[in-house]
Amino acid sequence: MSATWDENTIRRTRFDYPLLVGVIALTCLGLIMVFSSSAVLAQERFGDGLYFLKKMMIYAVLGFGLLYGMMRVPYYHWRKWVYPFLFLSLLAALLTVFSGLGVKISGAKRWLALGPVTFQPSELAKLSVILFMAYSIEKKNEKMERFGVGILPNLVIPGILIFFVLMGKDLGTSFVMVLLILTMLFLGGAKPKHLAFLSLGAVPIFYHLITQEGYRMRRILSFLNPWNDRYGSGFQVIQSFLAFNEGGFLGKGLGAGQQKLFYLPEAHTDFIFSVLGEELGLVGVMATTAAFLFICYRGLKIASKAPDLFGRYLVLGVVVLVGTQSILNMGVVMGLLPTKGLVLPFVSYGGSSLLTLLAAMGIVLNVSTYQQTDTPPMFEKKCRSL
């Protein structure tokens, strides 16, 4: 596949309906689970059991508006907006860390207050990284195997964004961004030995970041044995275990879960998958997992038919983001990974995440309307086979 498309081999088609249906289904599931997991908390805290549901419905409406808007914008126009978008993300991150607009919650400065609205700039940063990596890998397509030319320049700008995200004490998002960058470099044709070198170099950095903050170290220790501190750092994971255990095969029924009744902290955000497991059981867990796999599959199929490398890597970046964050969130709530404070895409409560993901899906759906007529190989030498 050439870096740019040949109009004689491109045809316009309808957008990928199955992908849109999958996204709508997961978002609707999210609205249901947010209400189920937060109604008691919302009533206790705000005197309105619908408080979180109302806010999430507003975000969903705005998000699908963004999705529709992105579907209407030809994706190749994003090439000229890559650097302005990066600048906007960097500015938002700087304002969050260094200005009075940054909101500090639980010791972390991750939110930017714009009047009555709060936004998490790190979510915008993820999309910025995808756009930049797709643009840069396309330009350096023939040089990706060279470390100094193909890889190193792709680390500088995203590295600056990651630095400011870390200054807001958001290690989980930083970890996701690092995985996103390394995976896109791999798919772009970078040599595995170069990526292995980078990964080994990142280990002491993450080790230092973990050990310098006591609460991070406690999370690692509680992951290894949560029962050592069952009423402290291990409490969340143990309550999550209980939720999945109580759910069984078919679940206790929607709204009938008990762990969300102030036993499971962050039930409507980080640990919403635990509530889903208790109320919908193994069947609900498997169906939700299948929905994420379906969305990733449709994304890979769209990427295989994209008319140029920019469109291909845009789609792959979004697929990697959704897939990686889903796996990490599910791994955390099932005790397979240390607690990282990451939401489940489309399902957890979180306006910034939902808006960004739906906008990203709009871009993917736009790419799906452009297809190669000669159906080229999914990835050539410079675009690895999946």
Domain boundaries, the chain: 7-372
Lowest mean pLDDT among 107-116, 136-145, 195-204: 107-116
Model pLDDT for residues 289-303, shown as the tens digit of each residue: 999 999 999 999 999
Model confidence at 2, in pLDDT bands (50, 70, 90)?
very low
Q: What pLDDT shows up at residue 327?
A: 95
Model pLDDT for residues 165-182, shown as the tens digit of each residue: 888 778 888 889 999 999
Burial 143-165 (b: 16+ CB within 10 A, else e): bbbebeebbeebeebbeebbebb
Model confidence at 134, in pLDDT bands (50, 70, 90)?
very high
Instruction: Report how far apart, in Å, the C-alpha atoms of 349 and of each of 30, 156, 218, 264 are.
Output: 8, 32, 25, 15
Q: What is the rounded distance in angstroms from the CA atom of residue 313 to the CA atom of residue 129? A: 11
Element of type H or E holding 201 = helix 192-211
pTM: 0.91
State the burial class of residue 212 (Cβ atoms within 10 Å of its Cβ: 0-12, 13-18, 19+). Answer: exposed
Say if residue 1's pLDDT is above 60: no
Model confidence at 232, in pLDDT bands (50, 70, 90)?
confident
Q: What pLDDT shows up at residue 84?
A: 93
Q: What pLDDT shows up at residue 17?
A: 96
Enter the DSSP assignment of 307.
S
Return the higher-pLDDT residue of 363 and 259: 363
Backbone angles phi, psi at 195, to 5 degrees: -70, -35
Q: What pLDDT shows up at residue 378?
A: 42
Q: What pLDDT shows up at residue 69?
A: 96
Q: What pLDDT shows up at residue 312?
A: 95
Q: What pLDDT shows up at residue 231?
A: 78
Model confidence at 233, in pLDDT bands (50, 70, 90)?
confident
Q: What pLDDT shows up at residue 381?
A: 41
Q: What is the rounded distance in angstroms from the CA atom of residue 332 to the CA atom of residue 271? A: 8
Say if residue 382's pLDDT is above 50: no
Instruction: Report how far apart, in Å, the C-alpha atoms of 109 and of each of 95, 156, 218 are.
Output: 10, 23, 20
Q: What pLDDT shows up at residue 217?
A: 78
Say if residue 56's pLDDT is above 90: yes
| Average model confidence (pLDDT) across the chain | 87
Q: What pLDDT shows up at residue 384?
A: 44
Model confidence at 86, in pLDDT bands (50, 70, 90)?
very high
Q: What residues form DSSP beta bridges with 203?
A: none
Backbone angles phi, psi at 50, to 5 degrees: -95, 5
Tokens representing 218?
């406690």
Handedness of CA 297, 301, 304, 308 (dihedral sign): negative
